[in-house]
Structures are given as C-alpha cells and as structure tokens.
Amino acid sequence: MPSIPVPRRALWPAALMSLMLMACGATSAEREPWPPVWQDTPAWQPEDAPPAFSPPSAAHCRRLPSMREVPGGGVVQQGRGAWRHERERDMASSRVEGAPAKRREAAGASMSEDKAAAPAAESRSADAGTSMPMSSPPFAPPPWPQPQPSVQRPSNPVVTAGMVDDNADFGEYLAYRQRNAGLPVRDRDVSERYLLEVTDVNGQPVHDAEVAVQRPGVAQPLMWARTDTAGRVWVHPRAFMPYSGGDERTLGIAVRKGTLQNRALLMRGQSNAVQVRLGAVASQPVRLDLVFLIDATGSMGDEIAKLKASMRAMAQQIAQLPGQPDVCWGLVSYRDRGDAYITRTHDFTDDLGAFQQQLAGVQAHGGGDTPEALNEALHEVVHRLSWRQQAARMVVLVADAPPHLDYGGPQYDRDMQAALAKGIKLFAVGASGLDPVGEYIYRQMAQYTAGRFVFLTYRDAHNPGSGPGTQTTHDVKQYSVQTLDRLVVRLVSDELARLKRS
C-alpha cells in the first residue's frame, strides 16, 4: 500500500505537545525509558554484566500438577553445549569409592534404581551451557509412588534447627568469612554494603518494586533487585563490580513500581540508608510463593522423611497466619550426574494435596561423592518456575552438600544474583554432614538475598543419631533453636507480617 503524505502543518500539534511535556517534566513511567540514564557523562561498560533473567510474571498457580526432569546418565563431555545423558553405572560406582560412609552406603543401595518418570523433551539453554527441558502442557499424572514399606522412617520425626541472620549480625558474618578465607568457593565481596529503603507517599514500605543500580550516564544496570516485603534491598557494590569496585564514588539507583518512578544517589562510604519515596501505592492481597529445594541423594533419607512428616503441620500453620495467605507450592529435587536424574521440577500449584503427593514421591538414592548438582537445581528454581507478580517469594533449601564447581554450566553465585533480581529469598537448611565449603556457600546465598542460614541441631553435635537438641558443628554464634516446622513457619510469618494488606 503506498504511503499517504502528511501535511507539515499536521505535525505542529504533536511537536507542541512534546515541547510542553519537556517543559513540565515527565513523572510517569510511560514517559521515560526504564531504567533512565541519570547523567550525561559517558562511562566504561562493565565486563561482568548482570545475569539474564525474566521478571516474575505469572498471575496465578491454579494448574494441574506436572513434572519436568533432566536425566542424569553419565557425562561424556563438559563445558558449554549439551550434556549427553547416558546410563553409565560403572561411572556412578567409581564415584562411591572414597566417599564418606553415609554417602557410600546410600549410593551402593541405589545402583539398580529405575527412573520414576519418563524425561521430558529437552531444549538448549545457551547462556547457561546446559541442556534444559521444555515445559510440557498440563496433564493428569498417575498417582505418585508412596514410600515403600522397606524404607525405615525415624522413630522420632521431630527435628530441631538453629538459625542465624548474617545480615542482622553482619560484623560477625564478615569475621566468619575471614576465618574461612581460602575455601574453594565462588566468592563475591560483600564487605561493602548499603541498605535501600523504598516507601510510599505515607511512609509505608513498598514491596516488589524494581531496583536498578547504574553507573553515571549508562542506562544498562550493573545490578537488578526487587524490594522485599519490608521495602528493603541490601546493595553490595563490590559483589557486582569486581573489575572496578573501588573506582567510582557515586552510583545511581532507579526505582519503579507500576507507573511510578523515582531516583536517588548512592555515595560510596555513606553510613545512612538510601531512601526512595514513591507516590500512592495500593495495598495488595497476601501472596506467598514457597519452594522446597531438596537434595534427594542417598545421605538425605532421614531428613527427607522428617520433612514429609512435618509438612502437613507446617502447611496448616501457614494457612492460619494473619491475612490467610494465598500460597503457591513448588518443589525441586536434585541428585547428580550419573544418577537416575539431575533435577525433577514440579511447578507451582495451589493444590496442597497434590504438592504433598509430589513430596511423598521424593526418595533418597544415589550420590557418592560429596558435591551434588545444586548449581543446576538452583538454576531451575530461579529461572524455570512460574513465579507470581506481587508475591513474597521464598526458597527453603534442605541439603547436606555443596554444589559441584567443576561442571561448568550454571553457577550458584550468578543465580543468587538473579534471585535477588527477581525478589527471591533463599533460606538454606544445612543437614547433618554439611562440610565447611557447603556452610560457606549456603550462607553466601542466604546473606546476599536477605534470607537466613538454618542448620539442624542434635543432642550430640557429632552424632546425628543422638536425637534433637541444641548442638551443632557449624561455625555459628548466638543462634536460637526450634523445631524445623515451627522455624519455617516463623520465617514465613516474619516475611508476610510486613506486607501492606488490602
């Protein structure tokens, strides 16, 4: 179709309107780019760009249960590109030698395990260097397998746990890091830390506001985050500026909530919080997206059984919290390469009965060497679940081993940054046998995302079979102890209590 010429005088109204907007100043998010360029000075672009992510976008979790699996047959090649999944039992058995006794016995008992479900089709994920499964349409699955009679359940399902908040006692956390310097981890420098507080016109905290941290003159952010239910974000410049973390003294912070925007300056070295105020923000229903991320290798049998036994009580207590939260339940279990599967992902559902069936199907098998596929599992949780808009987002990791850092592909430090960008808090529960490397990594993930480090406690710290108690082998001080189910409910309650409710 030929173009129709527009008379020049017809362009005058549009031009006049543009001049009026420039004179008055734009205040709506629809009139400004996001994030905005806050100065005109050009600056060098960082080499370490923020991780790619998709913001939470789901509207609900009213769906039939489904399962997505990444098989764990032997690994033929590593690095960027696909994993080839083949069953190589000799590889799995060779990993058992030299493993701790608890893992060695569990791995030997599971060599003949068959897969519980057929794997979904796979698609490539070039940025992560892994082979990722495609989402399948909802379906009505067969009943999930129940625990077999041969499985020995603990005689006492009660499990006690302690908790430390490394952001509340930040000086002690930095001292802990110094005491454990040199561990083989992917470290991020969090020694420089600032608090950002976002409030509405009435001074109330603004939950789930988008935050972009920028260099002068550059729209592309150095870091993304979303405010928690208290309207807060901890900002660690050296953690996301490793190449020039000490050079620039001023950073820009842009905040957006819906159509509202505002900006502030972060002066490196300041002691007071950075405060950003937006306009009138409507209250919202109490929503919670809660994921259990479970190490399902052979050494986790007792812990998985105890989690199953306490899940109903936890769910009932969460449902009775003030505001009667709208809860979506998610589950990701993982093992390791050479096992029946690497990850099994159950997307969010509001059907508690279906979720409990999925949890009942998690059995402890496999493993062998100490590290497990936590990197891959965390990547699934952060990037592959249908996180909702305007929800409190929490992940409870229950595991007893660090991730493999020698596999390539996704890495936990990048995905803890992506978790902060999506407003996901990580609460890492260290089970019996968690070594110093695992403790360090779990505390890294929890502190960076404003979560908590939780650890199981026993009557005798060096004997997990001694029953519930207050003792631990972890490098922690000033911790409180409760039963694990009550501790999880307490964490959820604290998070939801700060929401401005409709």
Q: Which of 8-22, 43-57, 87-101: highest mean pLDDT?
A: 43-57
For residue 32, give the nearest of 255, 280, 232, 278 by alpha carbon: 255
- Tokens found for residue 400: 């007893």
- β-strands 326-334, 287-295 pairing: parallel
Please give the Cα distance from 125 to 15 (Å, whole number). Answer: 45
Tell me what pLDDT residue 35 has.
Answer: 77
Tell me what pLDDT residue 250 has.
Answer: 93
Q: Which amino acid is it at 137?
A: P
Please give the Cα distance from 333 to 362 (Å, whole number). Answer: 7
In sequence order, the β-bridge partners of residue 235 are 194
**pLDDT for residue 22 is more than 80:** no
**pLDDT for residue 80 is more than 70:** no
Please give the Cα distance from 227 to 234 (Å, whole number). Answer: 9
Percent pLDDT > 70 in the chain is 73
476 compared with 29, residue with greater pLDDT: 476
Tell me what pLDDT residue 95 has.
Answer: 35
Query: In sequence order, which residues have a C-beta less than 8 Å from that of residue 9 and are 6 or more positions away?
Result: none
Q: How confident is the model at residue 110 (pLDDT cuts 50, 70, 90)?
A: very low
SS3 220: coil
* CATH class of the domain at 189-277: mainly beta
Query: In sequence order, which residues have a C-beta less than 8 Å from that of residue 413 and are 6 or more positions away?
Result: 186, 187, 188, 444
Q: Note the pLDDT tens digit of each residue in 166-198.
A: 999 999 999 999 999 999 999 999 999 999 999
Average pLDDT, the chain: 80
Burial of 499 (0-12, 13-18, 19+ CB in 10 A): buried
Buried residues in 451-488 as b, exposed as e (16+ CB within 10 A): bbbbbbbbeeeeebeeebeeebbbebeebebbbbbbbb
Percent pLDDT > 90 in the chain is 63
Q: What is the mean pLDDT of residues 282-305?
A: 94
Tell me what pLDDT residue 49 has.
Answer: 80
Tell me what pLDDT residue 485 has.
Answer: 93
Q: Note the pLDDT tens digit of each residue in 382-420.
A: 999 999 999 999 999 999 999 999 998 999 999 999 999
**pLDDT for residue 217 is more than 90:** no
Residue given tokens 């502190």 in the structure block:
447
Same fold, 68-168+285-497 and 189-277: no
Q: Which of 29-33, 135-139, 494-498: highest mean pLDDT?
A: 494-498
**pLDDT for residue 13 is more than 50:** no
Tell me what pLDDT residue 20 has.
Answer: 37
Residue given tokens 């062998």 in the structure block:
368
Q: What is the largest CA-CA distance in the chain?
A: 88
Among 135-144, 292-301, 483-492, which stretch is predicted with the lowest mean pLDDT?
135-144
Please give the Cα distance from 371 to 145 (Å, whole number). Answer: 27
- Dihedral sign, CA of 54, 59, 65, 66? negative
Burial of 351 (0-12, 13-18, 19+ CB in 10 A): middle
Buried residues in 181-219 as b, exposed as e (16+ CB within 10 A): eeeebebbebeeebebbbbbeeeebbbbbbbbbbbbebe
Tell me what pLDDT residue 157 has.
Answer: 65
Q: How far is CA 258 from CA 22, 102, 206, 253, in A?
A: 22, 51, 11, 17
**pLDDT for residue 81 is more than 80:** no
Tell me what pLDDT residue 389 has.
Answer: 96
19 compared with 372, residue with greater pLDDT: 372
- Which residue pairs, CB below 8 angstroms and at least 24 apart, start in 245-250? 245/189, 245/192, 248/43, 248/215, 248/216, 250/216
Q: At what angle do helices 352-360 and 301-319 cross, to 10 degrees?
A: 170
Please give the Cα distance from 364 to 398 (Å, whole number). Answer: 13
In sequence order, the β-bridge partners of residue 470 are none
Q: What is the DSSP string of 132-193?
A: EEPPPPP--PPPPPPPPTTS---S----EEEEE-TTTTHHHHHHHHHHTTT-SS-----SS-
360 compared with 135, residue with greater pLDDT: 360
| Topology classification of domain 68-168+285-497 | Rossmann fold (3.40.50)
Domain ranges of the chain: 68-168+285-497, 189-277
Contact yes or no for 108/96 (Cβ under 8 A): yes
- β-strands 122-125, 341-349 pairing: unpaired
Tell me what pLDDT residue 50 has.
Answer: 87
Contact yes or no for 396/429 (Cβ under 8 A): yes
**pLDDT for residue 201 is more than 70:** yes
Q: Note the pLDDT tens digit of each residue in 137-167.
A: 333 333 333 333 333 444 456 889 999 999 9
